[in-house]
Structure 1
């Protein structure tokens, strides 16, 4: 079993010596999700930050979201990606719809991102102010096919007794369809503020619909989610916090990437939270002490070393990736 001792010193963004960069790629991509969603803004931002700090070519890539990112990173088609704990667990178990039966064990956790709240948005003119107001046969946009929204929100609506017509698409496109009256509701699972919702607020009046206490309790019992409140200052529409549920997101890496490279990437992202918050406000949760929110994915040894040295993390050996296991 590899241990964190493989990377004895915390990396710094100043890995300038050629010897320190043995095996490093000259370029990299980060699998994100559709434009208009939080993943794309957040992922493109940290990709560009890492590229600038480490003197490499890198950037975000539009994808179908967490499920596809697990597949891209597992196969090595993307060096990095971002995923949510639910889709990550399903992928490890061979239940990813992109490749049923394939256990995606070559995708390693590298740092905590933020919680993804599940929230519902409708136009104020629709009169929909609660989940129970959603009419039978409502056209609901659940995000890109295979995304966290598309994987879990339809199941949640089923649990809450909502009868709907399922629609998929990128967040920007779905926001436009909602505004044009082609959709009745959008069910978002994305870090807040969701860019598409913020854009809608500027252009029209919207209702951001919270779950009742009873609805929240039902979802907590049925799904791998936690309690969450969307704070009132997230959107201009909100006058008080909105009750929700959430799922943690983690950045992932191809487990075969050099330990020193991943260590340096993690150091760039985790050592200066202000830079990350400037990329997206959801990064307020991208802090070292949230390392323990990963109970699903094996850690990349280079990332485990960083958190053990800099965050006092106590990561068990069986949670650190080894090519021998």
Structure 2
């Protein structure tokens, strides 16, 4: 595969109408007056993180924009592909399934008009229970446990039930927004919540304030078993993430990327990426998970085509070498 700098690609016709002027003035031809970022349910990291960068971009670029509550990564791929949302957030697993046409929202539809925009953070998979339950490990989970897996179609709901089955857990599946599930756990209506979300998860932080919880880590053997069966990698949740943790908690994770409708003007997406990626301190002030929202993580996308405007930014500012056949419109 030939590797190419997008500086060469920028000279082709695909970007001639969408690059920034040499004197620093933006060409806003075709820019929308407003935009929407598909996030997930309230109480989860996607909503807090996505609403935050949407507001940041809106303020910086003088546009109207904001986050929208959705069902999470699977629905976001569909919304961005169809153009119902200009931007969204997804994880690599749901992205791959959507591109392959196995997204349960629209089976058979290959959602190829959702393009990679910038790296966000890793999504750790973790389990939380009330300390009073006595559940402190996966082995402690009782037969038929009522487990909340987040919104239907979310990354957690897509993969965590399969992971639990892989580990031999027999459970009753429940769905809902993270805030609602946190309330159900506290009220004794659930035995556990299986979270897949950037850390710290607002719902878990809130639970810690109100009651004693156990954040359950995987054993080394369980971690290896899950990594062998699913598109995830090794991850440790740092001890300082939650007041409950006394040491790093063994987990697995999946990368998240912001996505853009592939038909958006290159200059618009370039400006959005520049706003988000140029000042990590501002992003971290929105959510601590943004510590990983840095240019050097551009290479964590091996699934989606890049939006030309995003590819241009990472080539110019991160030294990215993006294959031409991974840039939308350069086929």
Residue of structure 2 equivalent to 1:206: 213
Q: Which ranges in structure 2 are unaligned for 5 or more consecutive residues? A: none
Counterpart-to-counterpart distance in 2, 1:319 and 1:293: 13
1:234 aligned onto 2:241 = yes
Shift of 1:28: 0.1
Cα distance in 2 for residues equivalent to 1:174 and 1:276 = 27
TM-score norm. by structure 2 comes to 0.94
Normalized against structure 1, the TM-score is what? 0.96
Q: Deviations over 1:280-319 (max 9, x none)?
A: 0000000000000000000000000000000000000010
Aligned residue in 1 for 2:321: 314
Does residue 164 of the first structure (1) align with residue 156 of the second (2)? no
Deviation at 1:15, TM superposition (A): 7.5
Do 1:24 and 1:261's aligned partners in 2 also have CA atoms closer than 8 Å?
yes
Divergent runs of 4+, >3 A: 4-12, 14-17
Counterpart for residue 113 of structure 1: 120
* Aligned mates of 1:193, 1:261 — CA distance in 2: 31
Q: Is the 8 Å Cα contact of residues 10 and 309 (structure 1) preserved in structure 2? A: no
CA positional deviation for 1:7:
5.1
**Equivalent residue of 2:104, what SS?**
coil
For 1:7-18, list aligned pairs within 5 A.
Answer: none
2:148 matched to which residue of 1? 141
Is the contact made by 1:33 and 1:39 (CA closer than 8 Å) also made in structure 2?
Answer: yes
Q: Note if 1:67 corresponds to 2:74.
A: yes
- Find the aligned partners of 1:315 and 1:91 in 2 and give their Cα distance: 22
Q: Give the Cα separation in 2 of the matches to 1:139 and 1:78.
A: 34
**Residue of structure 2 aligned with 1:90, choices 68, 87, 97:** 97
Equivalent pair of 1:228/1:243 in contact (CA under 8 Å): yes
Counterparts in 2 of 1:16 and 1:7: CA distance versus 1, 3 Å: same
Shift of residue 4, structure 1, vs aligned partner: 4.1
What RMSD in Å do the two structures reach over aligned CA positions? Answer: 1.8
- Residue of 47, 52, 61 corresponding to 2:59: 52
Other-structure match for 1:268: 275
Deviations 1:81-129 (A, max 9, x none): 0000000000000000000000000000000000000000000000000
Deviations 1:201-220 (A, max 9, x none): 00000000000000000001
CA distance in 2, matches of 1:7, 1:192: 37
Q: Residue in 2 aligned with 1:101?
A: 108
Give the distance between the partners of 1:201 and 1:15, measured in 2 at CA: 48
Runs of 5+ unmatched residues, structure 1: none
How many residues are matched?
Answer: 321
